[in-house]
Amino acid sequence: MTRTFYVEVTCRASGSHAEELEEHLEQVMDALQDEPGVADADIGADLDEMLVDFCLHVRADSAADAVAQAHTVVRSALHAAGAATPGWEHMDRALASEEAVSTVRPAGLTPA
Q: How far apart are the two ends of the chain, measured CA to CA in Å?
A: 16
CATH number at residue 11: 3.30.70.100
- Please tell me the distance from the alpha carbon of residue 46 to that of residue 52, in angstroms, as a whole number: 7
3-class secondary-structure state, position 89: helix
In a domain, residue 112? The reply is no
pLDDT at site 39: 92
Structural domains counted in the chain: 1
Query: Which one, of 8, 14, 24, 40, lies nearest residue 80 by Cα?
Result: 24
- Please tell me the distance from the alpha carbon of residue 109 to that of residue 112, in angstroms, as a whole number: 9
Q: What is the pLDDT along the chain (112 residues), one digit of tens a residue?
A: 899 999 998 888 877 788 888 888 999 999 999 999 899 999 999 998 888 999 999 999 988 888 889 988 998 998 999 887 776 666 555 444 444 456 666 766 544 4
In a domain, residue 28? The reply is yes
